Amino acid sequence: MFGLTILDLALVLTLLSYLIQGLRNGFLVTLGGIAGFAAGAVAAFVSVPIVNDLVKDSGWRLTAIVATAVLLMILGHGLGTMIGRKIRGVVRIRPLRAADRAVGGGVNVVVSALVMSMLAFSVGALGVPFVSQQIAESRVIRFIDGMTPTPVKTSMAQLRSAVIGEGIPTLLDGLGQNQPVAVPDTSTDTPALNKAAASVLKIAGTAYQCGQNQTGTGFVVSPGRVVTNAHVVAGVPEPVVEIPGGGVLPGRIVYFDNQHDLAVLAVDGLRAAPVPLSSGLPAGSPAAFAGYPHGGPFQSKPATVQGIATVLVPDIYGNNPAPEDVYRLAGDVQPGNSGGPLLTTDGQVAGVVFAKATTESGLGFAITMTDLGPVVGQAAGLSNDVSPGQCIKK
């Protein structure tokens, strides 16, 4: 009906019930319920990755997550409503009763919608194919997400990342020779970079061996083929790819190199165009890197290539250091940017972001075309599933 899914119908009924409840209770009781509901929702939002880690049985994991979230919100709402009723019993506002009820109904709906957005983000980021697909297809969730301010979504992503301890590989900065790091603040809102952004995808999945959720970034290099970092999908049997503008597709790992931290996903049905490749960037070049920091909204950020060097880089498990060409970048690289493209100003791929410095903020590292080029060259012909390796316990 009207293109709505069963999830949409359930969400609409939930919003209507909160509207009616807000109209009936008025603002003061609603405010108490909202405060309790919001507290329960924050607890539920935080609990999702924690329960995901604690419940080892994949068959019960989703049930435990949903049950915990619902229980926390019900408890919070009940306690808040009880407090609100006590306050209303003391404060009499009969002359303003109609306005009180109208405001109560409106506020109740708005807060409920925000909570739905929080939970949809947290559950969707788990990378469970069926669940992520249902959330992506929900028109109600998409509408609410579109109405939610970007700073709010960014804050939710940062909170979730902090709770689950999401990280990014780090390197001891041995390239800069005390060169100062000045993160550029130039605009990345250009036609070329915006075109490339349409082919930069969010990647999520659950590494059941370690009981943890993993998120990162990838980009299209040939029809139906996506490059990312190996550490993003390490131990993930069913990675999920989120397409800009909505839509989720399952991915298959068809290339996995833990030494050079590169992986290729085959994504059937992916229509995004490949991002063209460059020959690389010399030191001093302006650049940009695109991705989903902390698993949140898409961001394109400026960077400067401060240097290129061949250094000993361990594999994704911290073993077997081997020579690798690496860009030293002045840029605000964060967890979740892993696997995202380093782009030239005209929107061509020059490398893959994979780490940040241990010694200085605003300093990141990217794999150069020396290692990336051969992988992209064979990506189109890769079709057989390969092992995702062992996960990396956070």
Number of Cβ within 10 Å of residue 71's Cβ equals 14
Q: Answer yes or no: is pLDDT of 176 > 60.
A: no
- Predicted local confidence at residue 125, as pLDDT: 64
Query: What DSSP state is assigned to residue 138?
Result: -
| Ordered domains of the chain (ranges, CATH) | 6-148 (no CATH), 191-274 (2.40.10.10), 285-371 (2.40.10.10)
Q: Who's near 32: CB < 8 A, 6+ residues apart? A: 80, 81, 82, 83, 84, 85, 87
Say which residue, 58 or 392, is predicted with more confidence.
392
2: left (phi over 0), alpha (psi -120 to 50) or beta: left
- Give residue for tokens 């290339």: 255
Q: What is the mean pLDDT of residues 105-111?
A: 74
Structure tokens, 48 = 């999702």
Average pLDDT, the chain: 83
Shortest CA distance to 356 belongs to which of 293, 298, 283, 262?
A: 293
> Is a pLDDT exceeding 90 seen at residue 375?
yes
pLDDT of residue 233: 96
CA pair distance 61, 299, nearest whole angstrom? 31
Res 107: pLDDT: 74
Which band of pLDDT confidence, cut at 50, 70 and 90, is reported for residue 58? low
d(CA 393, CA 256): 18
248-301 per-position pLDDT tens digit: 899 999 999 999 999 999 999 999 999 999 999 999 999 999 999 988 889 999
Phi-psi sector, 389: left (phi>0), alpha (psi -120 to 50), beta: left
Average pLDDT over residues 24-33: 70
pLDDT at 283: 92
- In this structure, are strands 341-343 and 322-330 parallel, antiparallel, or unpaired? unpaired
Residues 124-171: tens digit of each pLDDT: 666 666 666 777 677 877 787 777 777 777 776 666 666 555 666 766
Q: What confidence category does residue 210 fall into, taking pLDDT thresholds of 50, 70 and 90?
A: confident
For 317-349, write each residue's pLDDT tens digit. 999 999 999 999 999 999 899 999 999 999 999
Q: Which residue has the higher pLDDT, 97 or 231?
A: 231
Question: Which pairing describes strands 262-266 and 252-257: parallel, antiparallel, or unpaired?
Answer: antiparallel
